[in-house]
Amino acid sequence: MDIASVIGLVAAFILIVMAMGDPSVFIDVPSVLIVIGGTAATVLNTTTIPGLIGAIKVFLKSILNSPEPPEKTIEQLVELGTIAKKDGFVALEGQEIKNPFMARGVRMLVDGTDPALIKQSMQTEMDQIKARHQSGNDLLGNAQDLAPAMGMIGTLVGLVIMLGNMSDPKALGPAMAIAILTTLYGAIIANVIFMPARKKLEAVDAAETINNLMITDAVLFIQAGGNPRLIPDLLIGFIIPGNRAKVQAAVGG
């Protein structure tokens, strides 16, 4: 689980509640139903059930799992390359590989798949992974846009109800407060939940893409009979300059 995301979300809500003073003043069930229910229903109208389920899975994956650090990926690739160089590709078959993308590449190595086909197959899978991430990002973007809109709709509904009961001046203040609550709910949901989730998913996609590109290059390098000790030099360009020393230290470079 990505602890940073959990801590950030919990801290944001705690700070908001602390700023409220008396939280009970900010609770209105009809307003919650309008914003949350309206946003969910409208988002559902922009996609299909399979698309929604897939986007939710991608979202949960981005929150619950952090991409493997690149130095760990390179370290494992060096280890696999060393085994292949010493004992042949068949020796890779019994290796425990948790990364599904890496496992797929190694399996094709063991099967003796043509290099061009390996590259094409892994590129296709990368494209599909990115498409799934983009689908999830689009859904979160729709939710981020729609939550404030539903909040405004709720506010307008509340104002209409308030203006229809102008005969009681004492009730105008509380009625106005309740009407504005829906706008507050929409802003909180959009900016505390959906916007950070989109940014998190974008970061996960970027990190996973880098790892997958490294894996593809390393698999092809291993298949070509390259020296596994050169794998860090082959892949170091994917790493930001500030982290390169850390990567080289991790793999003994």
pLDDT tens track for 133-165:
898 899 999 999 999 999 999 899 888 888 877
Token digits for 121? 């197959």
Of 189, 204, 211, the closest CA to residue 70 belongs to: 211
State how far the Cα of 90 lies from the Cα of 113, in Å rounded to an integer: 13
Q: How far apart are the first and last CA of the chain?
A: 30
pLDDT at 96: 87
Task: Write down the pLDDT at residue 252.
Answer: 64
Nearest-CA neighbor of 81 among 178, 253, 249, 220?
A: 220
pLDDT confidence of residue 222: 94
| pTM reported for the whole predicted model | 0.82
pLDDT band for 127, please (50, 70, 90 cuts). Answer: very high
Vertex 120, ends 119 and 122: CA angle to 5°?
65
Per-residue DSSP letter, 212: H
In 3D, which of 242, 233, 241 has the Cα closest to residue 74? 233
In the chain, the percentage of residues whose pLDDT exceeds 70 is 97
Please give the pLDDT value at position 253: 55
Percent over 90 (pLDDT), the chain: 40
pLDDT, position 240? 82
Domain ranges of the chain: 26-250
